[in-house]
């Protein structure tokens, strides 16, 4: 089973996102097939068992419990973790998203400290309970929790033994602060869940000490501070993502004074103009924050008649619980708050003022369309997939190589390529026709002194680097001067082309599958709100399709096997183009295989040599080449790759067979003359990947500024 798939399965087994490299590393060991899930064995009455169970709940770790006599321990495959401290730390470190081990590095040191303290001092029975309680009371005086602003392992280690002692009647007098804290702990979901609610059902209100907004940042999004560090011109801006995309929907910020900046999605007046409801968006998430501006707020009067859809403003107010549906909190701007209008909008001119524009209309205002929900979501997913691409290859030891865009290699024909020139402008300036020599333009006058074109693929260039540096990839713009008006073609698009030395066609399939899964999984983790939008508005069933892509290994079969299947299915399928060996498969055939036969992505390989490029490695059978295509349901071909022909004599023969000139490929041939190595690679159109991940059907809507015949605006 492939490494990344296992990773994904393990991710599920653990119930969340994997924690950084370290876990991935051992999960890749785990992928060898030993490790199914975490089990805690122990006595369910044992206070140590309870502590670990509560900690696991709090951390979101799926821990199977198995009643067993003896000291509690965690089993993970062949491994055993024992000792309460080690078990608590283990579950606290399993997942990345949790803050149960503290929200910052120093908090985690404090948690360590309190863990040690509690495990030492609160042993059953404690040596000196009175002193212990005094320490706790003093420490908790100004605090909601033992460490930081959230329920952590430190609370687990201190509260569970104390509750245990309380139940045994051994605790008599608790200080006010300790009592408040203990109630807060008892009301915490993980504790309630494990211990049941035998604690008094009074609602313990956590004290959130009021503090300047800058001093603490405890949304789970926040790997960066709550306040944008690069926004001094509107000092104190908080990205809306940090509020609404926090795990608790922003509830942790209730009571805080916060300013947000953004563009107005909708405005509504209420209470005869005394109240103004604004939905504000800053592009950091698809969600809008609701801002309720009261007439006593500073700046309220400046809004009159200017604040329509598209207006930009800053709102300073207090985060309060929202009575409305669909949001946990809203921003309330009252007399201590303020609104500042950056730029108004005249509603009658603003092209996006109405709802429900067609995608086609949006393309005509490509400079404003990122303000629409659709294109905003696409932009975020596109950025995430680019990030995932770099992250996947970097973490697998690939070097990013910038292959050239302009190319005057002798072997490039002019078919479907854009020519790059400075001659036309020169000629127009002088008012003269283009200089010609022997029926051709006189390229000695051109910038590159020969015809130059925009690249159609970085592959040959990146192969050079592969045959020096072993593992490389290119990710850059690519061009086709194809006069195509379909929803699947662009004149300018982005391609990802990895190239691996010492790798054959099967390695190529492995990395292609792992890469695709990594990208989809990355978007599922980082862009769930965007994907939910697509599920809702673009493709019902999208999430399921993506989960399905991640769930199993892709099917793999040879072209020849595929042809056999398709011929057998032909009567039922009723293909428009009849199937026979040697043909180039059409989209109908490819999608039939992925959607009907296998119901998941399919990798076809070993294609007839006559329908594939000269550089693909000739197989032993002399009639197929080591080429592979990845076909996905609903999309069709997403990836095409091959093992490259590394044998100079075979390469030369193939070049000649194809009617090309070996000497035009002198430098490509050099790689086979000097230290040739087996190597493989593939290409993936980045926009295809975005369409696959979002369900958006027209390629013009997944790139910021689409270029196609007659269109190169903005």
Binders of a copy of itself among 273-312, rule CB under 8 A? 282-284, 310-312
Cα(341)–Cα(67) distance, rounded to whole angstroms?
Answer: 63
- By CB under 8 A, residue 448 contacts a copy of itself: yes
Nearer to a copy of itself, 19 or 143 (CB): 19
Q: What is the dihedral of CA 199, 204, 208, 209, to 10 degrees?
A: -90
Scan residues 223-252 and list those touching a copy of itself (CB under 8 A): 223-225, 228-234, 237, 239, 241
Nearer to a copy of itself, 401 or 579 (CB): 401
Q: Give Cα separations from 237 to 214, 227, 380 (angstroms).
A: 10, 6, 20
Is residue 119 helix, strand or coil? helix
Q: Which of 374, 478, 368 is nearest to 690 (CA)?
A: 374
* DSSP collapsed to 3 states, 450-503: CCEEECCCCHHHHHHHHHHHCEEEEEEEEECCCCCCCCCCCCEEEEEEEEEECC
- By CB under 8 A, residue 367 contacts a copy of itself: yes
- By CB under 8 A, residue 108 contacts a copy of itself: yes
Q: Give Cα separations from 233 to 226, 229, 230, 307, 328 (angstroms).
A: 16, 11, 9, 21, 29
- By CB under 8 A, residue 670 contacts a copy of itself: yes
Scan residues 506-565 and list those touching a copy of itself (CB under 8 A): 506-507, 510-511
- By CB under 8 A, residue 368 contacts a copy of itself: yes
CB of 428 to a copy of itself, least distance (A): 6
- By CB under 8 A, residue 361 contacts a copy of itself: no
- By CB under 8 A, residue 48 contacts a copy of itself: no
Nearer to a copy of itself, 26 or 613 (CB): 26
Number of residues that bind a copy of itself (CB under 8 A): 170
My answer on whether omega of the bond before 45 falls inside 30° of 0, hence cis, is no
Cα(374)–Cα(417) distance, rounded to whole angstroms?
Answer: 32
For 406, phi then psi, to 5°, come to: -90, 130
Nearer to a copy of itself, 420 or 583 (CB): 420
- By CB under 8 A, residue 402 contacts a copy of itself: yes
> Pick from 434, 567, 573, 660: which binds a copy of itself (CB under 8 A)?
434
> Pick from 356, 433, 571, 578: which binds a copy of itself (CB under 8 A)?
433
> Pick from 171, 386, 555, 634: which binds a copy of itself (CB under 8 A)?
386
Cα(83)–Cα(499) distance, rounded to whole angstroms?
Answer: 47
> Pick from 266, 396, 457, 570: which binds a copy of itself (CB under 8 A)?
396
> Pick from 208, 275, 379, 529: which binds a copy of itself (CB under 8 A)?
379
Site string for a copy of itself, 461-480 (x = CB under 8 A): x--xx--xxxx----xx-x-
- By CB under 8 A, residue 340 contacts a copy of itself: no
Maximum Cα interatomic distance, the chain, rounded to a whole number of Å: 106
Tell me, rounded to whole angstroms, the distance of Cα 542 from its chain centroid.
Answer: 15
- By CB under 8 A, residue 714 contacts a copy of itself: yes
Q: Applying CB under 8 A, which part among 59-67, 322-330, 361-369, 535-543 lies near a copy of itself?
A: 361-369
Site string for a copy of itself, 58-87 (x = CB under 8 A): ------------------x--x-xxxxxx-
Cα(51)–Cα(56) distance, rounded to whole angstroms?
Answer: 9
Compute the chain's Rg from CA coordinates: 31
- Token digits of residue 226: 């709550």
Cα(388)–Cα(391) distance, rounded to whole angstroms?
Answer: 5
Query: Which residues, other chains included, contact 232 with Cβ-Cβ below 8 Å and sequence gap of 6+?
Result: none
Q: Applying CB under 8 A, which part among 174-182, 568-576, 603-611, 698-706 lies near a copy of itself?
A: 698-706
Nearer to a copy of itself, 38 or 163 (CB): 38
Cα(81)–Cα(75) distance, rounded to whole angstroms?
Answer: 6
Q: Applying CB under 8 A, which part among 62-70, 271-279, 324-332, 392-400 lies near a copy of itself?
A: 392-400
Nearer to a copy of itself, 113 or 577 (CB): 113
Nearer to a copy of itself, 479 or 607 (CB): 479
Scan residues 588-647 and list those touching a copy of itself (CB under 8 A): 646
């Amino acid at each position: 089973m492939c490494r990344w798939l296992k990773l994904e399965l393990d991710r599920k087994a653990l119930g969340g996102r994997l924690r950084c490299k370290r876990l991935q590393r051992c999960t890749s060991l785990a992928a060898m097939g030993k490790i199914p899930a975490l089990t805690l064995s122990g006595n369910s009455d044992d206070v140590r068992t309870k502590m670990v169970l509560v900690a696991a709940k709090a951390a979101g770790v799926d821990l199977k419990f198995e009643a067993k006599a003896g000291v509690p321990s965690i089993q993970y495959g062949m491994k055993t973790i024992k000792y309460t401290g080690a078990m608590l730390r283990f579950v606290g470190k399993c997942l990345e998203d949790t803050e149960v081990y503290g929200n910052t590095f120093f908090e985690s040191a404090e948690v360590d400290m309190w863990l040690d303290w509690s495990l030492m001092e609160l042993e059953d029975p404690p040596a000196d309970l009175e002193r212990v309680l005094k320490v706790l009371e003093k420490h908790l005086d100004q605090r909601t929790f033992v460490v930081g602003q959230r329920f952590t392992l430190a609370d687990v280690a201190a509260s569970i033994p104390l509750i245990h002692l309380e139940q045994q009647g051994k605790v008599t007098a608790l200080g006010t602060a300790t009592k408040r804290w203990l109630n807060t702990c008892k009301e915490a979901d993980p504790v309630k869940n494990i211990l049941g609610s035998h604690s008094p059902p009074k609602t313990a209100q956590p004290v959130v000490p009021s503090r300047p907004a800058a001093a603490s940042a405890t949304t789970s999004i926040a790997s960066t501070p709550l306040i944008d560090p690069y926004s001094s011109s509107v000092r104190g801006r908080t990205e809306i993502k940090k509020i609404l995309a926090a795990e608790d929907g922003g509830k942790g910020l209730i009571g805080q004074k916060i300013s947000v900046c953004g563009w107005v999605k909708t405005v509504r007046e209420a209470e005869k103009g005394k109240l103004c409801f604004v939905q504000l968006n800053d592009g950091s998430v698809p969600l809008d924050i609701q801002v309720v501006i009261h007439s006593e707020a500073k700046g309220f009067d400046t809004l009159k008649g200017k604040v329509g859809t598209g207006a930009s403003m800053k709102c300073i107010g207090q985060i309060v619980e929202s009575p409305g549906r669909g949001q946990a909190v809203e921003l309330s701007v009252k007399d201590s708050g303020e609104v500042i209008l950056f730029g108004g909008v005249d509603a009658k001119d603003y092209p996006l003022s109405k709802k429900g524009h067609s995608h086609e209309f949006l393309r005509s205002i490509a400079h404003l369309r990122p303000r629409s929900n659709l294109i905003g979501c696409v932009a975020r997913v596109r950025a995430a997939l680019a990030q995932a691409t770099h992250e996947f290859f970097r973490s697998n030891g690939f070097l990013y190589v910038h292959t050239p865009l302009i190319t005057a290699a002798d072997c490039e024909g002019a078919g479907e390529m854009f020519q790059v020139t400075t001659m036309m402008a020169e000629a127009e300036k002088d008012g003269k026709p283009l200089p010609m020599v022997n029926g051709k333009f006189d390229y000695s006058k051109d910038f590159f002194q020969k015809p130059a074109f925009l690249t159609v693929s970085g592959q040959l260039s990146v192969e050079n680097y592969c045959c020096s540096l072993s593992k490389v990839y290119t990710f850059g713009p690519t061009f086709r001067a194809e006069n195509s008006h379909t929803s699947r073609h662009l004149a300018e698009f982005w391609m990802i082309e990895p190239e691996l030395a010492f790798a054959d066609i099967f390695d190529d399939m492995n990395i292609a599958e792992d890469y695709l899964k990594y990208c989809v999984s990355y978007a599922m983790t980082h862009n769930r709100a965007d994907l939910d939008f697509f599920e809702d508005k673009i493709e019902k069933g999208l999430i399921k399709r993506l989960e399905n892509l991640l769930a199993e290994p892709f099917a793999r079969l040879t072209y020849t096997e595929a042809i056999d299947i398709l011929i057998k299915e032909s009567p039922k399928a009723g293909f428009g183009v009849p199937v026979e060996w040697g043909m180039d498969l059409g989209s109908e055939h490819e999608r039939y295989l992925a959607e009907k036969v296998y119901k998941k992505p399919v990798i076809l390989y070993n294609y007839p040599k006559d329908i594939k490029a000269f550089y693909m490695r000739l197989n032993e059978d002399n009639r197929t080449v080591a080429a592979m295509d990845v076909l996905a349901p609903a999309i069709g071909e997403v990836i095409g790759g091959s093992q490259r022909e590394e044998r100079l004599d075979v390469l030369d023969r193939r070049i000649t067979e194809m009617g090309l000139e070996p000497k035009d490929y002198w430098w490509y041939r050099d790689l086979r003359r000097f230290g040739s190595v087996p190597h493989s690679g593939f290409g993936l159109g980045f926009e295809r990947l975005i369409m696959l991940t979002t369900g958006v059907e027209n390629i013009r809507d997944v790139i910021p500024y689409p270029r196609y015949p007659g269109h190169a605006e903005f």
